Amino acid sequence: MGSMESGSGPVLCIVGARPNYMKMAPLIRAFGSRTDLPPIQLIHTGQHYDPLMNDQLFRDLQLPAPDVNLEVGSGTHAVQTAEIMRRFEPVVDAQRPSCVVVVGDVNSTIACGLVAVKKGVPVAHVEAGLRSHDRSMPEEINRVLTDQISDVLYTTERAARDNLVREGIAADRIHFVGNLMIDSLLAHRPRAVPAVESIRRGGIAETELRGWERFAVVTLHRPSNVDDRDTLAALIGTLVEASERLPLVLPLHPRTRANIERFGLTSELADRRILLLQPQGYLEMLGLMSAAVVVLTDSGGIQEETTALGVPCLTLRENTERPITIDQGTNTLVGIDRRAILRELDGVLTNGGKRGRVPEFWEGRAGERIAAHLAGWLSDRVTQPAH
Ligand code: UD1
C-alpha cells in the first residue's frame, strides 16, 4: 500500500485525449493567475499522440508543453487504462501532489483519478454529473466511476447535480461553475480560421469554391457508429444522400478513417460533394462550425460548441449526456435512422433550424470560478484536515 496521505506538492492537471485540451487550457491559465494555489504540473497520458490530434491543438490553445508525458498510446480499453495507471503511479509518488484535476470522460480521466484516490490524494473532476444513461458507452462508465471517487465535482449544467445526488454523492461536494469548453471557444473565436481557407486547403479548386458557400460539417467517431460495418455503411449512404442537398465537410477521426478503409467503403465517398479532411486544428474547426448551415455529429463537445455558436446541430446518437443543449440550445437528437436524419436536415434547410439560447455560466468564466473555489478548498484542507 502507498501512503494514505495527500502531499503538499503541485496540483497535477491531467490531459489525455483531444477533447480534454480545450477544457484544460483555460483552467491552467486561471490557475496561473492566482498566487494562493500550489504550482501546477501538466501531465499528458499520451492517449492521443498523432500530431494532428495533439500537437496542433496544443499550439492553437496555447497550452504549455506537458511537464510529463506518459506516452501510453493506443490499446484495448483494459490495456490503455491499466497502462496509464501503471505509469501515473510513480509520478504521484514522486510529486506528492496536493490534488489531481481530471476533466471529461476519457480513459485517462478514470485511470488517473483511480490512482490518485487510492493514494489519498484528492481528486477534482471537471465536467462531473453528465449522464447519457447508456452503459454501453465507454465514456458513461468513465463518468459514473470518476464521479464516485472524486472529492470535488465541478458541473457544467444544473441537471448534473440531480444525477450526482441520485447516485449518492454529497451535495456539498458539487459546484456548478459553467463550461470550460466555452471559455476556450470565446477566447479563441476571434482567431478562428475562415472556413473558406480550410475548404480550399482541403482541395476544392478556386473555381469551385462558389458551390461551397453553404455547407454542413459532419463528424463521426463513436465506436457505436463507426466500428460496425453495416452501421457505418448505412451512415455513409445517408451522408451521400445528404450531400445532394448541400456539400458536406467531413474531418475524419483516425478511428473512422481506418474503419472506412478496413470495411472497403472508401469508394462510396469518392467523387461526391463530400470533402474528407484530416483532423482539423481548433481554430479551423471553430471557423468551419461557425460558418456551417448545420452540423451533424456524434461528438459530445460539438453539441455544446454549436449551442454556444447558435448553429443548429443534429446529433447522430440515440441519447445525449448534455441535455441542456436540447432544452435550451440548438441541438436535436436524431439518431442514425436514414429517414430521420434526412427529414431533420430538410427541416433545417427549410426553416433555418433551432435557434436556442446560450445556457447559464457558459460565458467564459468557468476557469476563474474553478480556480477560486479550488484555492479555498485546498487551503481549508490544510488548516482543517478532513480526517
Ligand atoms: C477517445 C475518447 C472519446 C473522445 C475521443 C475524441 C475514451 C474511452 N474515448 O476516443 O471519449 O470523444 O477520444 O477523439 O477515452 N488513434 C490514432 N491517433 C491518435 C489517437 C488514436 O491513430 O492520436 C487511433 C488508434 O488507432 C486508436 C483509435 O484511434 O485505436 C481510438 O483511439 P482511443 O484513444 O482509444 O479512443 P478514441 O476513439 O479517440
- DSSP readout, 231-300? HHHHHHHHHHHHTTTS-EEEEPPHHHHHHHHHTT-HHHHTTSSEEEEPPPPHHHHHHHHHH-SEEEE--S
**Is the CB of 254 within 6 Å of ligand 1?**
yes
Average pLDDT, the chain: 96
pLDDT at 78 over 70: yes
List the strands of the sheet with 123-126, edge to edge.
68-69, 40-44, 9-15, 97-103, 123-126, 152-155, 174-176
Give nearest CA residue, ligand 1 atom 7: 106
pTM comes to 0.96
C-alpha 211/C-alpha 56 separation (Å) is 29
Judge whether 102 and 124 are in contact, CB under 8 Å. Answer: yes
- CB atoms under 10 Å from CB of 41, counted, come to 18
Give nearest CA residue, ligand 1 atom 13: 17
Q: Which of 334, 296, 292 is nearest to 310 (CA)?
A: 292
* Paired sense of beta strands 123-126 and 152-155, if any: parallel
- Catalytic residue numbers? 221
Report the pLDDT value the prediction gives residue 171, as an integer from 0 to 100. Answer: 98
**Is the CB of 7 within 6 Å of ligand 1?**
no
CA 101: distance to chain centroid?
16
pLDDT at 2 over 50: no
Largest CA distance in the chain: 70
Probe ligand 1: pick from 253, 303, 305, max atoms within 8 Å of CB?
A: 253
Q: What is the mean pLDDT of residues 295-317?
A: 98
pLDDT class for 382, splitting at 50, 70, 90?
Answer: confident
**Is the CB of 47 within 6 Å of ligand 1?**
yes
> Cα(299) to centroid of ligand 1, in Å?
12
pLDDT at 3 over 50: no
Q: 4 exposed, middle or buried (CB, 10 Å; 0-12, 13-18, 19+)? A: exposed
**Is the CB of 49 within 6 Å of ligand 1?**
yes
**Is the CB of 106 within 6 Å of ligand 1?**
yes
pLDDT class for 383, splitting at 50, 70, 90?
Answer: confident
**Is the CB of 75 within 6 Å of ligand 1?**
no
> Cα(142) to centroid of ligand 1, in Å?
14
Give nearest CA residue, ligand 1 atom 31: 255
* Phi, psi dihedral angles at 114 (to 5 degrees): -65, -40
Report the pLDDT value the prediction gives residue 5, as an integer from 0 to 100. Answer: 53
* Phi, psi dihedral angles at 386 (to 5 degrees): -65, -30
**Is the CB of 255 within 6 Å of ligand 1?**
yes
C-alpha 346/C-alpha 57 separation (Å) is 33
323-358 confidence digits (pLDDT tens): 999 999 999 999 999 999 999 999 999 999 999 999
Beta bridge partners of 297: 219, 315
> Cα(185) to centroid of ligand 1, in Å?
22
Question: How is residue 344 written as a grid cell?
Answer: 431533420
Could you identify the atom of ligand 1 that is nearest to the CA of residue 107?
Answer: 15
Report the pLDDT value the prediction gives residue 272, as an integer from 0 to 100. Answer: 83
C-alpha 315/C-alpha 340 separation (Å) is 11
Give nearest CA residue, ligand 1 atom 14: 18
> Cα(44) to centroid of ligand 1, in Å?
14
**Is the CB of 221 within 6 Å of ligand 1?**
yes
Give nearest CA residue, ligand 1 atom 19: 48
258-274 confidence digits (pLDDT tens): 999 999 999 999 888 99
Q: What is the mean pLDDT of residues 61-88?
A: 98
Looking at residue 63, the DSSP 8-state letter turns out to be P
Residue range 195-351, CATH number = 3.40.50.2000
CA atoms within 13 A on the CB side of 148: 10
C-alpha 303/C-alpha 313 separation (Å) is 7
Judge whether 293 and 286 are in contact, CB under 8 Å. Answer: no
Give nearest CA residue, ligand 1 atom 21: 48
Beta bridge partners of 276: 250
Give nearest CA residue, ligand 1 atom 35: 74
365-378 confidence digits (pLDDT tens): 999 999 999 999 99
**Is the CB of 48 within 6 Å of ligand 1?**
yes
**What residues does each domain of the chain span?**
9-178+362-383, 195-351
Q: What is the mean pLDDT of residues 79-85?
A: 98
Q: Do domains 9-178+362-383 and 195-351 have the same CATH topology?
A: yes
> Cα(48) to centroid of ligand 1, in Å?
6
**Is the CB of 138 within 6 Å of ligand 1?**
yes
Report the pLDDT value the prediction gives residue 130, as an integer from 0 to 100. Answer: 98
C-alpha 198/C-alpha 349 separation (Å) is 23
Residues in the chain: 387
Q: Which amino acid is at 244?
A: E
* 9-178+362-383, CATH topology level: Rossmann fold (3.40.50)
C-alpha 163/C-alpha 144 separation (Å) is 10
